[in-house]
Amino acid sequence: MKNTIIQSAFIIITISLSACGQAESPQAENRQEMAEFYIAAFETLLAEDSGLNEGMEYLIIDFEELPAADGGPTGNAATEPQTAEESGEKPGPEVIAEVLVYFEDTYGVETREGDMQTIEQEGMMDEETMTIDGILLTIEDVRFTSKTEAIMEGTKFKGGLGAIGLRMELKERESTWSVEQTEMLWVS
């Protein structure tokens, strides 16, 4: 009797463990979906006012203000939109790495995580012209209005007289995020 119970427990544990490795985990699926979400937004920012991209030597992407990789809407998102600030943290390292690799492969320039403070600390700003040799992309606000819709505001910075602010409406259709509509908020 005792051996039967032990054997049954062993079989159940073995089946459970082998089943875990067969399908992609929800976290991995969510991680890929969140990377695509950010890629769609950053691509839209980079494409807007493409003249700023001329001679781009590097791309710096600011992830500090973004919702977590397992973020997105919680609760009843249709009535309680969640901001990036409410989600509490930036995306996980896997999401960040996937986004950075995408842009480096797509544009063939060094792409890394950073912000305006990084640019200043590393002396990347030409003090005379107030420009950088690359582009800084930042998402400043994310508000999920439902599980499949979000509104973002972001900036693209080349210099004091070469920057834009953009509002984007994103929608998910068939597990793919895309920017449906944009609105220019400001230009410098």
Can you give the residue ranges of every domain in the chain?
26-187
Q: Is the pTM of this model over 0.85?
A: no
Pairing outcome for strands 149-159 and 131-146:
antiparallel
Give the C-alpha separation, 180 to 88, whole Å.
26
Q: Report pLDDT digits (tens) over 80-105.
A: 444 444 444 578 899 999 999 999 99
Average pLDDT in the 24-38 region?
Answer: 71
Q: Which is higher by pLDDT, 19 or 109?
A: 109
Confidence of residue 30 (pLDDT cuts 50, 70, 90): confident
Average pLDDT in the 35-48 region?
Answer: 95
Residue 58: what pLDDT?
97
Q: How much is the mean pLDDT over the chain? A: 79
Give the C-alpha separation, 45 to 107, whole Å.
14
Q: Report pLDDT digits (tens) over 144-162.
A: 999 899 999 999 999 999 9
Percent of the chain whose pLDDT exceeds 90: 61
Confidence of residue 134 (pLDDT cuts 50, 70, 90): very high
Average pLDDT in the 40-47 region?
Answer: 96
SS3 20: helix
